[in-house]
Structures are given as structure tokens and as C-alpha cells.
Structure 1
């Protein structure tokens, strides 16, 4: 949900949009078509809010005015707040995944998606392979040995069969998906705090609303 708040004193008609960080990212990348411009590798030792914010500040200082974002959005204007958000994402520290996480955050926002944490997934023991014929479907078996058995007064050698099984989805697959969700959630928390710390958004206010933490619990 978007909340609008008035900016300025009594009589002011300007309003500020209040968005959760995920909604703000989707607005910047999906609606405003902001581009993720990753900085070239440099000998940067600090992991503060970033490099992205410093870059935008330097650009504004050099221009002496607010940034015209029209260079990216074909046929229209890219809101400068959207560019600030994109620049902040570009400054993702290595401790949170660096450039790879920045790209992931931007791509998910552009698609309007949340990482798939495999809701409702439960590992089940199933046959590794199934065979189908005119009689239906049955599990594939393999020979694991032989045994001598006495039947009707005669000794016979019979094959010992086993059905190879596996877990689907595998527990590690589920755990990996949920670790990825956790990493994304932490990255969004960093972006939210960075935008609020930087105080550079003019018409958008990023609220404390966050995606659910560990929604599978």
C-alpha cells in the first residue's frame, strides 16, 4: 500500500509517497525503468552505505543541481529518486553479496517478484526412476545380489532386487532456497537503512515495512 504525506508546512500541496523498501525498489526498477550502474572495481576498503550514495552526491555537486534522469528511460523521464535507489543498490557491500546481490535485487524488483523460498515444500521419499508400460507405472529395480532358496524340494538361485530411492525435493534444495531468501531479505534491509541514512530521497519516503522474515517458520 502507498501512503501519501504532505511535504512542507501548512498549505503545501506537495505530497511524499511512503513505500516499503520492496515497493520502492519495484517502483524504481519496474515503473521508472532505473538502470543499475555498477561501479568499476576499485580499492575500496569501507563498506558503509555506500559507494552508491557517494557517487550520486558527487554527481549532484558537480552539476550544481538535481540529476536529470531522462538518459535511461526511453521516451520519458526517470525520476531522480528512482536513480538514487538504483545507485544505492549498486553500492551493495561484499558482505551481503556485492555486485551479484545488487543484480539479483534489481532483477527481482524489475520483474515484481519475491525469491521462491519453496513454500509448502516437504521432502518425500520417491523412486529414482519409474517405468511405464501397458500395465501402468512401476518403480525401476536393480539387482543387488543373489540368494539360494529351497522351493518345492529344490534349491534355486533367485535375484535380490532393490528399488533405489531419493528425496524430492531434496532437503538441501529447500534449505538453499531459504538461505537465498534470507540473503535477499538482509540486502533489502541494508538498502532501506541506507536510503534513510542518506536522506537523499525528495519525494519518496521508505517506511519500516519489510518482506516477511523467514515466512516458512
Structure 2
């Protein structure tokens, strides 16, 4: 069966709607308001155990049953393909962040956002503390040592005084590690989307939409794709 369309009962060809994985996720979670069917906690009692939605969908597909939806969206129908997308996200492997990443992917898709990788941010060297006085804002200083100096006085001999050596403690804002952490988070999200895309393409369970090869940029802060 072609990935570009399918034959209906009357012999007509129904063209699938092609979407990149990020757009597909936003359609499923934001437009269709699909919900994650997360697995129960490992210490859940036997009474409370239930099969995940992904398992149910796979069993129905194997039996040739039509995949229905609607049970997760109050008062209206949730598209069956959106349920399949949600089930796939819920199966996120632990190597990619597991349940936590699944929730993150779903909530960002629901909000229509991508992870903040701090675009255009450059670390700046700034005072750790500032003080305000009648002359305006000034950098706070600390005493880091002393030195004895002869201060010229009215007599030729002068006088010796101990003078404090002051320094202004500085820091980097934002710290380079903050930027690196934000960009690692983006890369983890990208890997999760790549896994979802591959799973949806390999599963061939989508009936009216099709996931394409389109992906967000791998490293938008660099020169890569």
C-alpha cells in the first residue's frame, strides 16, 4: 500500500495529509488535544494495572479492527491518528528520557513551542554585586589585601599608611554552562522527536496523516542543517 494514499471502499484514492513530526505532534496534542496514556508506576498493585494505549492500538491493528478515538477528549472526538501519535510518544524509551521526556514532548507540542536553546545569548562579564548611592550604581568591591605606602606630608619625611587593596568580584551571566545545558536539552528533545518520527513511519498505523522526513534543525545555533 502506497504511503501517499489508500484505496477506499468505492475505489477512490484518499491522499494522506503529510506533516513533519513537529507539526504532527502539535496537531495531535494541540489541535486534537490527545492525552498521554502513561504506563502505571512499577510499584502499582495488580488491581490497578492496565494495558497502555500503544498496546491496545497494536492489538486492534493486528486484528484488523478500526482504531476509534474520543475517549480521552471530553465532549468531542479525538482523531484516531492523534491517539496513535500520543501512544507512540508514551512509549518513549528510558535511554531518551522515558516518561519525563514523553511529557515534555507532549506539553511543548500542546503549547506550540520548542525548547529554549538561548538563541543569541553571549556570556557577559559582570560585577557579582552592585550598590546604589547618590552618584548612581557602582560595582561592589571587597578587600583582597593591604599595602604600606609612604604618603607625602607637610614634612619631607612623610608618613606611612596601610592602604586596602580593593577588587571587584565578577561573574559570567548567563554562565556558559547554563547555555550549554539549554542546548543539550534541545538536542535531547530533537533525538526524542527523531525517535517518534521513526516509530510512526515504521509502524504504518496512521490512516489519514503521514509523517515526513522533515525535522527541526539539529543545532540551530551552529551551521548545521
Give the secondary-structure state (helix, strand or coil) at the position aligned to 1:69. Answer: coil
Unaligned runs of 5+ in 1: 43-50
Q: For 1:208, which of 185, 199, 213 is the aligned residue? A: 213
CA distance, structure 1, for counterparts of residue 5 and residue 201 of structure 2: 18
CA distance, structure 1, for counterparts of residue 193 and residue 149 of structure 2: 66
Could you tell me which residue of structure 2 aligns to residue 8 of structure 1?
Answer: 7
Could you tell me which residue of structure 2 aligns to residue 148 of structure 1?
Answer: 148
CA distance, structure 2, for counterparts of residue 86 and residue 197 of structure 1: 16
Give the secondary-structure state (helix, strand or coil) at the position aligned to 2:104. Answer: helix
Could you tell me which residue of structure 2 aligns to residue 163 of structure 1?
Answer: 168
Q: For the structure 1 residues 52 and 97, does the alpha-carbon distance in structure 2 shift closer, same or farther, using more than 3 Å as the test?
A: farther
Q: Post-superposition shift, 1:53?
A: 4.0
Q: Post-superposition shift, 1:111?
A: 0.5
Q: Look at both structures and tell me which one has the larger radius of gyration over its CA atoms.
A: 2
CA distance, structure 2, for counterparts of residue 133 and residue 36 of structure 1: 55
Q: Post-superposition shift, 1:55?
A: 3.9
Bigger fraction of residues in helix: 1
CA distance, structure 2, for counterparts of residue 212 and residue 22 of structure 1: 11
Tell me if structure 2 keeps the 8 A contact 1:90–1:99.
Answer: yes
Give the alignment's TM-score, normalised by structure 1: 0.87
Q: Post-superposition shift, 1:6?
A: 5.0
CA distance, structure 2, for counterparts of residue 59 and residue 131 of structure 1: 68
Give the secondary-structure state (helix, strand or coil) at the position aligned to 2:100. Answer: helix
Could you tell me which residue of structure 2 aligns to residue 45 of structure 1?
Answer: none
Could you tell me which residue of structure 2 aligns to residue 57 of structure 1?
Answer: 58
Q: Post-superposition shift, 1:124?
A: 1.0
Q: For the structure 1 residues 183 and 125, does the alpha-carbon distance in structure 2 shift closer, same or farther, using more than 3 Å as the test?
A: same
CA distance, structure 2, for counterparts of residue 86 and residue 177 of structure 1: 25
Tell me if structure 2 keeps the 8 A contact 1:116–1:181.
Answer: yes
CA distance, structure 1, for counterparts of residue 54 and residue 197 of structure 2: 13
Q: Post-superposition shift, 1:61?
A: 5.7
Could you tell me which residue of structure 2 aligns to residue 36 of structure 1?
Answer: 36
CA distance, structure 2, for counterparts of residue 146 and residue 52 of structure 1: 71
Q: Post-superposition shift, 1:60?
A: 5.2
